[in-house]
Amino acid sequence: MQHMSNLGSLKNSSLAALFMLAVLVSCKPSAKTVVADEDNAGLTLPEGFGALKAADSVGKARHLVVNANGDIFVKLEKPKDGSGILMLSDGDGDGKVDSTAGFGNYDGTGIAMKGDYLYASSNTDVFRYKLNEHQHVIDGQKPDTVVSGLIDRRQHNSKSISLDEAGNIYVNIGAYSNACQIQDRTKGSPGMLPCPILDSAGGIWQFKAEGIKQGYADGVHYATGLRNVVGLDWNKQASALFVMQHGRDNLQDFYPELFGGPDVSVNLPAETMYEVHQGTNAGWPYFFYDQDKKQKVLNPEYESHRAALSADSIADPAVAFPGHLAPNALLFYTGNMFPEKYRNGAFIAFHGSWNRAPKQEGFFVAFVPFKNGKPNGEWEVFAKGFAGAEQVESPGDAKHRPTGLAQGPDGSLYVSDDAGGTIYRIIYGKQ
């Protein structure tokens, strides 16, 4: 592991000895109280909640996990100073990161932790690192390659991951297309039937978490018809995988006459949450979901194939959101810090999309209440203010864009940001 900084080291040997003696006597170093930043790190939150910036300017922070000691592992979209994964540590317990170490010189988004292993993905592979007794990655360790050779055509190349309770790992393989047209993103170009992309992308693949050097032939094509899933999480109450799909683009650009003008079409198609099981088909590229009409709609590119296509076997979403919000993370909250309302519910980080002009939206964390593994009430905005302005003209104007979600051992909620490189920590009440 490459140590990028190590703050608060003891320079005097006698002081070091006294320090170690104090640790032995107390058995546990004293920790400071975690308190929210005075301005709640710029966020607007429900009453009783507060936020602080645990770290800042770490790089293009994508997904993240937190171990039992409170160390934060962050996957960077692109390596920074030779490291694609950062371990951020808070030595004195005040909630602020004071040391950083890095390893894993590759790009990507996905990261997950289970048992004695840390899993991380590049845009083509999934790796596994053995953790020591402190839940740290052993210095200089060469990871196992769990899965390799996944398709990467640059568009929708995130290989986001999640693990279940039975030893399986689920990998998103995004479709390298908008609507599987003969000429991608070209007005008037018809859709291909069948869509050839679906044999190796546009869905979720299941592999063995303890497997080595698995490829497509070793995995299960678990779910299909999912254009791109960046956020996914295993729901223990439902014993099922839930995913957040990025809906297609260009409806409002190519077909304004079909969808009622920009104020309507900018909200289509829905960003959709699905409960998926082996064999689930969410309908891409043939159908999209209209959250206002609450129905599946044939994509205009497939109008000439209408007689050959049916939505009868296409899954309905568990929850549907307005279009072009770009859901990049999903987390089922199982902690005890937050009030009962939030237990086992779903948090979603909306990153904001490029294809929503002139009314850019997103840049917030939403919450969906769940009961017995099923949605149980309307979704709501939980945390906003990341963008730094109430309205931005383009996603590039947003100061911060929520990308990853993680739960800390104390039940606090961590949010990563791939624009400003900030790691937020949201707490409830006095800590």
Domain segments of the chain as ranges: 2-428
- Express each pLDDT in 62-87 by its tens digit: 999 999 999 999 999 999 999 999 99
Q: Select the CATH number that applies to the domain covering 2-428 from these four: 2.60.260.20, 3.60.20.40, 2.60.40.1480, 2.120.10.30.
A: 2.120.10.30
pLDDT of residue 392 exceeding 80, the answer is no
pLDDT of residue 248: 95
The pLDDT tens digits for 4-63 are: 443 333 333 333 333 333 333 333 344 578 999 999 999 999 999 999 999 999 999 999
Which tens digits make up the pLDDT trace of 202-238? 999 999 999 999 999 999 999 999 999 999 999 999 9
What's the whole-model pTM score?
Answer: 0.92
When pLDDT is averaged across residues 372-400 and rounded to a whole number, the result is 89
- What pLDDT score was predicted for residue 285? 98
SS3 letters for the chain? CEEEEECCCCCCHHHHHHHHHHHHHHCCCCCCCCCCCCCHHHCECCCCEEEEEEECCCCCEEEEEECCCCCEEEEEEEEECCEEEEEEECCCCCCCCCEEEEECCCCCCCEEEECCEEEEECCCCEEEEEECCCCCECCCCCCEEEECCCCCCCCCCCCCEEECCCCEEEEEECCCCCCCECCCCCCCCCECCCCHHHHCCCEEEEEECCCCCECHHHCEEEEECCCCEEEEEEECCCCEEEEEECCCCCHHHHCHHHCCCHHHHCCCCCEEEEEECCCEECCCCCEEEECCCCEEEECHHHHHHHHHCCCCCCCCCCEEECCCCCEEEEEECCCCCCCHHHCCCEEEEECCCCCCCCCCCCCEEEEECEECCEECCCCEEEEECCCCCCCCCCHHHCCCCEEEEEECCCCCEEEEECCCCCEEEEEECCC
Percent of the chain surpassing pLDDT 90: 81
The answer, yes or no, to whether residue 189 has pLDDT greater than 70, is yes
- Predicted confidence at residue 252, as pLDDT, reads 82
pLDDT for the residue 33: 87
Identify the band that residue 393 occupies on the pLDDT scale cut at 50, 70 and 90.
low
Q: Picking from 119-123, 154-158, 163-167, which range would have the lowest pLDDT averaged per residue? A: 154-158
Residue range 292-317, pLDDT digits in tens: 999 999 999 999 999 999 999 999 99
